[in-house]
Structure 1
Amino acid sequence: MSLLPPRRLTLAAALPLVLLAGGCSYLEGGSTAADPDSADCEPFREWQDTEGGTVNVYASIRDVEADRLESAWADFASCTGIDIQYEGTGEFEAQIQVMVDGGNAPDLAFFPQPGLLERFASAGDLLPLPDPVREQAEAGFSEDWLNYTTVDGEMYGVPLGANVKSFVWYSPSYFADNGYEVPETWDDMIELSDAIVEAGDKPWCAGIESGDATGWPATDWVENVMLRENGPDVYDQWVSHEIPFDDEAVVDALDRVDTILRNPDYVNGGYGDVQSIATTAFQEAGLPILENQCAMHMMGSFYAANWPEGTEVGEDGDVFAFNMPPIDPEIGTPVLGGGEFVGAFSDRPEVVAFQEYLATAGFADSRASEGAWISAHQDLDLDTLQAPTDRLGAEVLRDPDAVFRFDGADIMPAAVGAGTFWRGMVNWINGDSTEETLTYIEDSWPSS
């Protein structure tokens, strides 16, 4: 996925589209939607009494992933006559506040951070879920997932996509050709990295550039290590600030990340030195694996959408992934995850209808069939998952024995999780010490 300017796409499902320069589109005059009485429209019958309307959606999902989202709800739009106007941008976290403050809030927003959703809910900008949406969400998602959108006893969001943020991507053929095996422990992974260095190659590639959100991929490293070194209880204490951000446990975790991300022998295959990590777009960062310029890339399951067309993903394919191995065997193999949540700023019938549809297994299956996506919906049909890594991620999320925790930066207050934590990690990659970095983030934590 390349870094492209934000774009606005207008979709009314099966209606003919005329594409303009820059990816914009408009509906040709005189076109009609699908026959609402047809068998194809049967799954959407309950939402047809909205009699059309327009729903504006704003999110951080863009490029190929945005195209797949729009395809997934195309039949809903066509059969209900609801015009879904979608805009995806790399500056979502900053611009959604500007839009709300300016009285120009979208009807729906897909929040990638529960902490950001909570901020708008606490300010009274976001609306609690209407009863039909809440009931649909409660029927499909576990209490853990619903708790991420619950503020003062009210539910403000519906889980949308989910991802596993503990994946380490690699080339099976490169491993096989060199006699390397997927590591089962952190120490195994370091021994593997050292062996790759000894062979004259770079074991890791990385990139944390992401527009206004630059820095977030580095926070995933810290969170994965915090969870693996200290277990879920200490992880929860850190995320909720029951222990300070510069606690010794966090110092040890960042020092461990240092042994990989700031090790000039290990990084940054295909791009340059350690500092190149800060300027390498996360979408492009793993691509050197295909050229054997690096051996491994830590990035979420959603990265499957970033491999070039024609890349075979699988155990015997061009790329595959393994879950980052444990550090402490007594903790087991933790799973770090993330996702998006659908929050509403308006409650017109068409908005409620679309938000309710997004909470269904039908939408989850439709989006999953487009590829490179999974959901935490308990009724997701695993057979709709096209990529082996999608199925791997869904199975990991469903594993009752897995130690699962949501991305910590996404739960922390937005000023930290989507602010100083991101910026602090950029400064750290560029040379700030662990102590300077963690003190900077700790000092930024809101007092109330």
Structure 2
Amino acid sequence: MRRGMLSIVLGLALAATACGGSGGAQQGGALQGQRITVAAVWTGAEQDNFKKVLQAFEEKTGAKAEFLATGDNVSTFIGTKIQGGQAPDVVMVPQVGVLQQFARNGWLVPLSADVAKEVDANYAKVWKDLGTVDGKFYGLYFKVANKSTIWYNTQAFQNAGVQPPKTWDEFVKVSQQLADAGTAPMSIGAADGWVLTDWFENVYLSQAGPQKYDQLAKHEIKWTDPSVTKALQTLAELWSKPNFMPGGPQTALQVEFPDSVSQVFSDEPKAAMVYEGDFVAGNIATTGKKVGQDANFFPFPAAPGGSQAPLVSAGDAAVVLKAGKNQQAAQEFVKFLATPDAAKVWATAGGFLSPNKKLDASAYPDDVTRQIAKQLIDAGDAVRFDMSDQAPAAFGGTKGAGEWKILQDFLGNLSDVQGAVQTTAQRLEQEATKAYGS
């Protein structure tokens, strides 16, 4: 669920030292001695690996790049920095809604034509569209997630004599076979409402298609639309199956996301599968199990009536602040991020996916990550960003409220499936109307 102008004399030196197509100037070039500050939410290993990207930029350009941790509330942090005259130059924004907020607050400058050129050459169009607000290109997506992966315990599958499913019907059949073999098919960390929104988004994107997904994300169609009730019906039929999750839905509502992964990959697993994004691999590692050996994944299958498997994503976009002290060097940094060279640095370190289609898959550290990355790239413009991250926080991102709470109540009250579907759709529409102001 989870971011005065210093003149830079470029002149002929920039023309002589710029790296066409590779982002930024050569080491010791036009940015020698310049400084930028880059703010992001990342901590721990993510922060360490991003600092390796900053170091690569420094080595390439001669500039200095300092990391600034924002904490979880990126919007408040950056607003305070701008008011205090200490704005960073670049911010890695973790949500589309926050990017749009920054742009409409007048906090951002559009990305340069050079950055746009790199993106046009290296990215599917959807990523540029996601970074565009009111016709202006502000955000470069650098690190993203594939949120259409279902992870499974390989030993549990072997014990039940089942194979990873490729279709929804196979998924339901495999789930029943696992239950019959004495293992609950699915662990769901429903105490975290964002897990349930991710389930909904995958089913909805598959069934309704990208165009309707975009319309619902903007509340251009109502949450009582038949496409919404169809997706809720599909989830209700799956989630209400006997023995589908350990202890049933009421128990699942007490399980947080990290624990849902542990339930599948502990020494005495309570379930065989867990749905969530590629970041599940990091949680698996904490259990002592090995991805690719004890654990593997299969793509979220196309839901009933869906024409293709969904690809829901999330990610962090680099933006340049108007109040930053070094916009030109900041633009060069974002241009660097748009190149496969920058993506390779973090991809090699692990825990990273890039939307850059020019990045050689061999940069990823293992076959499983390469498969997940390929799934993301192959989806092309059919990729859609996490819907709840696009919504106003009151609806799509607040614990105990809005969509999170309504879907938790939905999961906990499936004794009357039809009644639950209709009531949930109506509640979603009521809360969306309040949050979107429409």
Shared fold, TM over 0.5: yes
1:192 aligns with 174
Please say if 1:125 is aligned against 2:107.
yes
Q: Partner of 1:307: helix, strand, or coil?
A: helix
The one of 289, 297, 301 equivalent to 2:264 is 289
Q: Mean alpha-carbon deviation: is it higher for 120-129 or for 191-200?
A: 191-200
User: Quick check: 1:64–1:305 contact (8 Å CA) kept in 2?
Assistant: no
Q: Structure 1: any 5+ residue segments left out of the alignment?
A: 7-41
Change (3 A) 1:442 1:83: closer
Q: Partner of 2:26: helix, strand, or coil?
A: helix
Please say if 1:344 is aligned against 2:353.
no
Please say if 1:74 is aligned against 2:52.
no
1:327 aligns with 303
Change (3 A) 1:112 1:269: farther
User: What is the CA-CA distance between 1:269 and the residue it aligns to?
Assistant: 7.3
As a proportion of its length, which structure holds more helix?
2
Please say if 1:148 is aligned against 2:122.
no
User: Quick check: 1:337–1:406 contact (8 Å CA) kept in 2?
Assistant: yes
Change (3 A) 1:128 1:427: same
Q: Mean alpha-carbon deviation: is it higher for 110-119 or for 66-75?
A: 66-75
2:436 aligns with 446
Aligned-pair identity in percent equals: 28
Please say if 1:51 is aligned against 2:45.
no
User: What is the CA-CA distance between 1:283 and the residue it aligns to?
Assistant: 4.0
Please say if 1:175 is aligned against 2:150.
no
User: What is the CA-CA distance between 1:257 and the residue it aligns to?
Assistant: 2.5
Change (3 A) 1:266 1:415: same
What CA distance in whole angstroms lies between the structure 2 residues aligned with 1:247 and 1:60?
36
Stretches of 4+ aligned residues off by more than 6 angstroms = 269-272
Change (3 A) 1:97 1:253: farther
Q: Mean alpha-carbon deviation: is it higher for 192-201 or for 144-153?
A: 192-201
1:244 aligns with 222
1:65 aligns with 46
2:278 aligns with 301
What CA distance in whole angstroms lies between the structure 2 residues aligned with 1:322 and 1:82?
42
Coordinate RMSD, CA, aligned: 3.3
Instruction: List per-residue Cα deviations over 1:95-135 (Å, max 9, x = no partner).
Output: 45555566654332222222221121122112211333333
1:380 aligns with 359
Instruction: List per-residue Cα deviations over 1:295-348 (Å, max 9, x = no partner).
Output: 11111123323332664222xx11111101112466022322222211121260
1:224 maps to a residue whose letter is: N
2:434 maps to a residue whose letter is: S
What CA distance in whole angstroms lies between the structure 2 residues aligned with 1:269 and 1:84?
48
User: What is the CA-CA distance between 1:220 and the residue it aligns to?
Assistant: 1.0
Please say if 1:221 is aligned against 2:199.
yes
1:360 maps to a residue whose letter is: T
Change (3 A) 1:384 1:284: farther
Please say if 1:355 is aligned against 2:334.
yes
2:171 maps to a residue whose letter is: M
1:17 aligns with none
Q: Mean alpha-carbon deviation: is it higher for 68-77 or for 362-371?
A: 68-77
TM-score (norm 1): 0.78
1:28 aligns with none
2:195 maps to a residue whose letter is: P
Aligned residues: 400
TM-score (norm 2): 0.80
Change (3 A) 1:436 1:94: farther
User: Quick check: 1:44–1:76 contact (8 Å CA) kept in 2?
Assistant: no
Q: Structure 2: any 5+ residue segments left out of the alignment?
A: 4-22, 414-419
What CA distance in whole angstroms lies between the structure 2 residues aligned with 1:340 and 1:61?
10
